[in-house]
Each structure stands twice: as C-alpha cells, then as structure tokens.
Amino acid sequence: MRRLQQHATKRLLCTRVKSQNPRTMASPTDKEGRVHLKNMTLKELESYFESDLGEKAFRARQVWQWLYKPSKLVSSLDEMHDVSEKLRRRLRDEATVDALTLDSVNTAQDGTKKLVFQLSQGGAVESVIIPATSSSGRKRNTLCISSQLGCAMNCQFCFTAKMGLHKHLSTAEIVDQVVQAQRLVGAEGERISNVVFMGMGEPLHNPDNVIKATEILLHKDGINLSHNKVTVSTSGLVPAIRQFCRESSAMLAVSLNATTDDVRNWIMPVNRKHDLEELMQTLRDEFPRGIGGQEKVFFEYVMLKGVNDTLDDAKRLLRLTAGVPCKVNLIPFNAHDGSEFKSSERDDVLAFRDLLANAGMVCTIRESRGDDRMAACGQLGEGSGAGRRAPPRTRPPPRLELATC
C-alpha cells in the first residue's frame, strides 16, 4: 500500500508538459529518486505529508515556511529546527530541499549579476539579478529567471535560441532560482522585489510548471511577492496565453517585435502558427483580465536596425494594437557572437517612442544592463554547458534581404 501511495504522489508531482520527447521532460525527482519539495504547492505538500508520511498537515506548513519565508530560505533539512529529528531523518531519504546548485556568480560593471545554476541531471541555466534604486533612494532587485534549458522558438535575434530546446524546467527548478537569488541578496540586507520570466526558454511552452511556480511565488505564507511584481513573458503561444490568463494572477507580457506578419514570420517563427491577427484578437478577448486584475498587456519590442524601427512601423503598431489595452517597452538589441542583427540608432529609438507617446500610448525604453557579461536581454545561454544544436536560420522577406548585411 505504501509503495502505491508513493507512486500516486510522484505521479501528482509529474508535470503535464506538452512535449512528448522524454529528453525535454521536467523531472519530478532528483537522480536518487527523491521528490523535490519545491515542486509542490502548499496543498500538495500537505497531501504528501498526510498520505505518504502519515504526518499532520501543520508539519507541512512548518516545512513550507522554512523553504520560503524570506527570513529562513534554508538549504538543508537540518536547518529546520522546529521539525522533529525523526521526521527530518525520514525526509532526507525521500525528499530534497534545493533543486539547483549555484555554480557561479558573474558581476557586470553596472552591478548586474548573472547566476549560473547546474541542473541535477546535467546542463545549466542562468538567472540575472538587476539592481536599481528608486527616485526615493530605495534599493530594489529584479530577478530574471529561466523556464527551460534552451528554447524551441528559434527567434532569430536571441542567443538562447541557438541552443534549441534541451529540457523543460520543473516547478522546483524554476522556484529555486528565486529562493537562491534571495539568499544571495539577503546576505546584503536586500530583497528580490520583482521576478520576470524572461530568461532562457519560452515560459508558456512549459505552462503547467510556470503557472504552478507563480502560485508558489505569490503565496502569502511564503515568498509573498505581489501579483503585479511577477511577470511572465511569451512569444505568442495563443492557447497557453488563454490558459495562463485563467489560471495565474501574475502579469503577462508579450514579445511582439514586428508590425507585419512577413517580418514576424522571419524573426519569430511562432508567428507562422499564431499570426498577429490571432494574437491580437486573443489579447482583446482576455484584457482587462479577471484573475489578478491586470488591465494592460505589456508589449516588449526589440529594436532591430533596418528591420522594425521605422516611423511606419510605429504607425502600424498603433493600428495593430487598437482595442488592446497595452503598454509598450522598447528594448535596444543586445549584440552577441554570430548575430546578423544590429541595434537601432538611439535617435531612431527616441523618434519611435515619441510617435507612440504623442498618440497617447504609454511607451518606455528599457536600458541594457549587464551586456559586458552576456547577462542582458537575449544573451543568456553562454554558460549552459549544453551542446549547441543551432536550429536553421529563417529567410528574410525579399524587401529586407539587405537589412542584416
């Protein structure tokens, strides 16, 4: 009976990832077959304690707080002082606290830190801590986290895309990036104030693990991040957008980057499956959102010289987003080895921004951070340790064949 209960619990913890390739499946256990405690929501942890361990649910809540309370964030069971030695000894055999091993911290000149985490079953993922100071002098840290080892979307301007997809990250591997980053900044008396799913991978290609991770990050008895301080970015996977909007109260951002289908088909091949018309209609349907109350979708727009940065593009962007409550964040392209793209001229970025702003659209420019350590937007993957399996490059529209020369 006990073996059947353990099997049922591990099956509960297994994620429902969409890929059928075992090589990309997220693992619910470590190499020794122990369950990752951070794979579980509080309700699942309580069920595990009651069904598998024969313990009261309040014991699970004790462990939960040791895992996630900002003043605790333990790395081992031995640090859980109010948990009995008998229970800790049993948990050592069946469960594990950390899902990742922090391998290195690389600090850029501007203070941005790139964290490289080793996965227990091979490979490495990267997170980025971006420090900032508000106008009132208050320090805050934004953490950019990964959701996959590699990525299947093949966006032409992204360094991570050159890896292809190696693995979906489990819920534990996603959440642990936040926990270990908080340990790091907590040693300096600071906190992670914002989390963005904008690192390696397409978050909504791994929706079940990502949505569960947001639930854990937002839980009031744990890390307790505000729902408007956690943002999940997508390249435009329409069915998963609908799922996310109905199941998570975190914020949604959409990486747009083009105003016509022919350009977006080229630089973001996902557009061939879910074109701009379908994407925009979905956002009109979903916004303002019921869950979480997000009123406006955040559009990210990487500025590529000669590709998507003209005033005509800005005018088309206004027409394209008509009826979609939104804000636009312009992102200067961050160069990397082998890229055929260049960043737009600063004057062109400002003119693009001004046209949108003068038309009444909320539009900001994101300044590059950490690019001297390959820690900026679109540059992650250098320390992954996974072999390169560069997917094929796509052909530009005839009218833009000279744009990348």
Helix (H, G, I), strand (E, B) or coil at 1: coil
* 256/235 Cα distance (integer angstroms): 7
* 240/286 Cα distance (integer angstroms): 12
**Residue 170 CB neighbours (<10 A):** 29
32 is catalytic: no
Going by C-alpha positions, the residue among 212, 121, 131, 129 that lies closest to residue 175 is 212
* 48/55 Cα distance (integer angstroms): 9
209 is written with which tokens? 């693990």
Q: Using an 8 Å Cβ cutoff, are 314 and 355 in contact?
A: yes
Alpha helix segments (H runs only) across 53-186: 57-68, 85-94, 171-186
Amino acid 219 reads H
Helix (H, G, I), strand (E, B) or coil at 259: coil
**Residue 366 CB neighbours (<10 A):** 15
**Residue 66 CB neighbours (<10 A):** 20
The helix (run of H) or strand (run of E) holding residue 208 is helix 207-218
Going by C-alpha positions, the residue among 199, 196, 144, 147 that lies closest to residue 168 is 147
Active-site pick, 144, 155, 245, 377 = 377
88 is written with which tokens? 């800790």
Q: Using an 8 Å Cβ cutoff, are 1 and 192 in contact?
A: no
The helix (run of H) or strand (run of E) holding residue 312 is helix 311-320
The helix (run of H) or strand (run of E) holding residue 10 is helix 2-13
Gap between the terminal Cα atoms of the chain: 66
Angle between helices 346-358 and 311-320 (to 10 degrees): 40
Produce one character per residue of 279-294: b if its CB has 16 or more CB atoms within 10 Å, e if not.
Answer: bbebbeebbebeebeb
Active-site pick, 126, 202, 300, 382 = 126
401 is catalytic: no
288 is written with which tokens? 């303002």
User: Among all residues, which ones are annotated catalytic?
Assistant: 126, 377
